[in-house]
Structure 1
Amino acid sequence: MTTTADHTIPDASPIVLEKTVVRSYKTPILLSVVAALSIVLYVVFRRGGDTTFTFAGGRIAASLPNVVLPTTLTCVILTIVLVVMAALSWWLVSRFASVPLWFSGVFAFLFVLAFLTWAAGANALPLPITGLLLGTVSLSVPYIFGALGGVISERSGVVNIAIEGQLLGGAFLAAVVSSMTRSLTLGLIAAVVAGVLVSFLLAAFAIKYYVDQVIVGVVINVLVLGLTNFLYSQVLTKDPSMTKLLNSPPLLPALPIPGLSAIPVIGPVLFDQSIIVYLMYIAVAAVYIGLFHTRWGLRLRSVGEHPQAADTVGINVTGTRFWNVSLAGAIVGLGGAYFTLGSVGSFSEDMTGGQGYIALAAVIFGRWDPIRATLAALLFGFASNLQYTLAAVGSPVPSEFLLMLPYVVTILAVAGFVGYVRSPAADGKPYIKS
């Protein structure tokens, strides 16, 4: 005790704040399962011979020399490394430490490298790495646009299940408008408008009328699917003359960037693309900077985390959510245009094939961060393209497994490699002003 003239003051004792750490065995279990699968595939069912990786250049870039690896030895070494990393993840969790995301990323990369070496070994043709990466970027474009739209919408507090409908609507309207006007610019604008119109439905029912956001998103997807299928069968394809008028859009040309497009491997993959891919690069950077380094992003995140607090400081929660859901729809709609203007060259029934749901998985895998969601979308695009590449080189992997590969990767990524995630606190919760 400390005594003064008038008071007796107790000695100050230090305050100790205890931090509770919860062990999560989800990631170590998944890594162990993958390591065990590696032992079965690459050791028990090992393949002999050599695996050849080719790095052929594109239209402008030069080619790099081939890389030849002994199939069995490479797979066994990589399997040992995977087993050690799985054991290390158990050690980290036992010490109440989380498994870092980069650790899981390195583990996944090594497993993929071992799988490619095993699948393209023996009598298979050389594996074209440049073509594999080029196809990955091409197939990832709708995923990335969809994931960016999902990040914006969910950061504002609205679950965007309607990504599939926004992609499909953008693909349809882009094909029709571009076919009628022969203008690619108007086709891209029409895709943006289609995405906004679909998002208006989501915003109106979810924000204004407080309808369950998951249910209304699914209903919108079914509505857009049924509407576009009806118009396709009754308008676009019923008469050959109408098909030529309404469903024969021009394709976006490739626009190589001088200098950068000549870089081996990277040049053809990233810098010899169409304008919509370059718009994707800009969108990723703009969403990231806007979300975390601008007043707009601060307001957006505030209504998604604590709408009541945002309301008390004068932020219009309903208006902010409404307009940002519309912005998300515009971005996703632009991604839908890639199907008809950047890839296929015409619209067909259900041409998105559930890719909007995979984009939603990329949002979760990316922890509602635009950069991480983009990387997740690239992973899913790689899995989608891998089935075509392995089939082309004569891999013995069953075709049925190759068809389900993108969805298997999606499940594994969201279930285990992502670890513990926390969505925005008010995500999916309607705000009723008191």
Structure 2
Amino acid sequence: MSSTTAVVRPSDAGSPLATAPGVLAPVQWRWPITGLVLTLLTVAMGARAAGTSVFAMTGATPWFTFPDIVVPSRGFILVMALLALIVTAVVTWLAVRRRPVPFWAVGLAATFFVLGFLAWVVAGTGATMPVVRLFAGALAFAVPLVFGSLSGVVCERSGIINMAIEAQMLFGAFAAAVIGSIVGTPWIALIAAPVAGILVALLLAVFTITYRVNHIIVGVVLNMLVLGLTSFLLASVLTGPDRAHFNQALSLPSIPIPVLSGIPVIGPVLFDQNILIYLMYVVVVVLEVMLFRSRWGLRTRAAGEHPRAADTVGIKVNALRWRNVLLGGALAGMGGAMFTVGLGLAFSKNMVAGNGYIALAAMILGRWNPRGAVGAAAFFGFATNLGYIIQTLNSPIPTEFVLMIPYLATVFAVAGFVKSAKPPAAEGIAYP
């Protein structure tokens, strides 16, 4: 009896889909199915749409009045469905040929679906979709997620699971509001917030590195501790006659960048913001370069992947982990400042509201990479702001489902990527 063996083609030999030499990997149907589902949903929306959809361009640029964009709802949505179908066909062709599917292709199909969804929400209702407000609000919601996910990247790349991002962000928001109110200026909050995050990170480092306690348990306990502490201080100190002294609604001023702030849509969204958002841009670029182009980054990744090997070449693994955990706490604390002085709000009970956990999801979705984490955080920020904007429109979607949008986006996004995302090998493992 003769047997046949499926052989990997030379072009597939370097592909991650090749399981072993001489064996052809199974076809990965996840992305074709995802694209097909998005296409069918877009077609269903187009079939039910009527009238016109208006995309309001108010505030798109200070240089001139940008006209609103009016499109026939059904035609526009069906065109988006056709484009999504074309992308899905390309993705399917790549999958059948067992070639890696580029992430941008899946993102493109999702973009066509989102554009169709935005048109469907306002189709024939007389309401308008505020484009600039949609993206500017998405950026505001994404900022704490970016800082939180970068905190997770710095910690987990060195081997420490930072489940306390929620606590660090919450304490950062609290310190920014209180210290800023006492001093009378929001600028001091930019110092107080990261210091508060470092204080929480100090506890995380002591228990996980020094006393070798389970990282997830320590993180959850710290989240509960800071929530209880800030709630108690809010009720006992920050309310009543002393509220104006300890808990004011201070706001960082917007600083428009000349020329860049006038670029249509992009300018008002990205370059007419406060200093905290500009700091986020700088931190993302610096961390991306440092993590993959510096001695510190190489040592950090070594400590997270193979700490014993790192130790044999003279790297003090635990000292490095200590420094990274404190740095991660500072980043998460800075993200917490966005909830108070960044948005011009006074501190309120549990105002972080689970964003620390969504930041962890953004880190996983971004594959423990600063650049990927930023993209995932932007996606979650967009989903969150879209939910709030839909509430203000005469939308056929029930309010309860609108409020579920950011959390559903988080679950589906992480569920789609978690199998292909590999954490650092020594994550959560004490050393020595």
TM-score, structure 2 as length reference: 0.91
Amino acid of the structure 2 residue aligned with 1:203: A
The Cα offsets for residues 82-105 of structure 1, whole Å up to 9 and x where unpaired, read as 344335434433322232211111
Cα distance change of structure 1 residues 23 and 311 upon mapping to structure 2, 3 Å threshold: farther
Aligned to 1:296: 296
1:277 aligns with 2:277: yes
Q: 1 CA distance for matches of 2:321 and 2:161?
A: 11
Aligned to 1:361: 361
- Following superposition, the deviation at residue 115 of structure 1 comes to 0.5
Aligned to 2:136: 134
Amino acid of the structure 2 residue aligned with 1:18: P
Aligned length: 413
Matches of residues 64-75 of structure 1 in structure 2 within 5 Å? Answer: 64-75=66-77
Identity among equivalent pairs (%): 46
Deviates more, 1:416-425 or 1:312-321: 416-425
CA RMSD of aligned residues (A): 1.9
Aligned to 2:6: none
1:207 aligns with 2:209: yes
Deviates more, 1:274-283 or 1:412-421: 412-421
Deviates more, 1:24-33 or 1:366-375: 24-33
Of the candidates 31, 37, 47, which is equivalent to residue 33 of structure 1? 37
Q: Using CA pairs below 8 Å that are at least 6 residues apart, which structure has the higher relative contact order?
A: 1
Amino acid of the structure 2 residue aligned with 1:191: A
**Unmatched 5+ residue regions in structure 1?**
1-15
Of the candidates 120, 123, 142, which is equivalent to residue 121 of structure 1? 123
Q: 1 CA distance for matches of 2:320 and 2:22?
A: 36
Q: 2 CA distance for matches of 1:418 and 1:216?
A: 23
Deviates more, 1:284-293 or 1:19-28: 19-28
Is the Cα–Cα contact under 8 Å of residues 143 and 356 in structure 1 kept in the other structure?
yes
Is the Cα–Cα contact under 8 Å of residues 175 and 340 in structure 1 kept in the other structure?
yes
SS at match of 1:236: coil
- Following superposition, the deviation at residue 28 of structure 1 comes to 3.1
Matches of residues 205-284 of structure 1 in structure 2 within 5 Å? Answer: 205-237=207-239, 239-240=240-241, 242-284=242-284
Amino acid of the structure 2 residue aligned with 1:209: Y
SS at match of 2:69: strand
Amino acid of the structure 2 residue aligned with 1:89: V
Aligned to 2:332: 332
Deviates more, 1:182-191 or 1:78-87: 78-87
Matches of residues 282-431 of structure 1 in structure 2 within 5 Å? Answer: 282-416=282-416, 420-431=420-431
**Unmatched 5+ residue regions in structure 2?**
1-12, 14-19
Amino acid of the structure 2 residue aligned with 1:227: L
Amino acid of the structure 2 residue aligned with 1:31: G
Q: 2 CA distance for matches of 1:84 and 1:243?
A: 58
Is the Cα–Cα contact under 8 Å of residues 27 and 95 in structure 2 kept in the other structure?
yes
Is the Cα–Cα contact under 8 Å of residues 178 and 249 in structure 1 kept in the other structure?
no
Aligned to 2:21: 18
Is the Cα–Cα contact under 8 Å of residues 182 and 249 in structure 1 kept in the other structure?
no
Amino acid of the structure 2 residue aligned with 1:198: V
Q: 2 CA distance for matches of 1:155 and 1:381?
A: 24
SS at match of 2:163: coil
Is the Cα–Cα contact under 8 Å of residues 125 and 394 in structure 1 kept in the other structure?
yes
1:148 aligns with 2:143: no
Q: 2 CA distance for matches of 1:58 and 1:317?
A: 50
Aligned to 2:98: 96
Q: 2 CA distance for matches of 1:419 and 1:124?
A: 43
Is the Cα–Cα contact under 8 Å of residues 130 and 265 in structure 1 kept in the other structure?
yes
SS at match of 2:421: coil
Cα distance change of structure 1 residues 178 and 59 upon mapping to structure 2, 3 Å threshold: farther
Aligned to 2:164: 162
- Following superposition, the deviation at residue 150 of structure 1 comes to 1.0
Q: 1 CA distance for matches of 2:419 and 2:101?
A: 8
Is the Cα–Cα contact under 8 Å of residues 101 and 418 in structure 1 kept in the other structure?
no
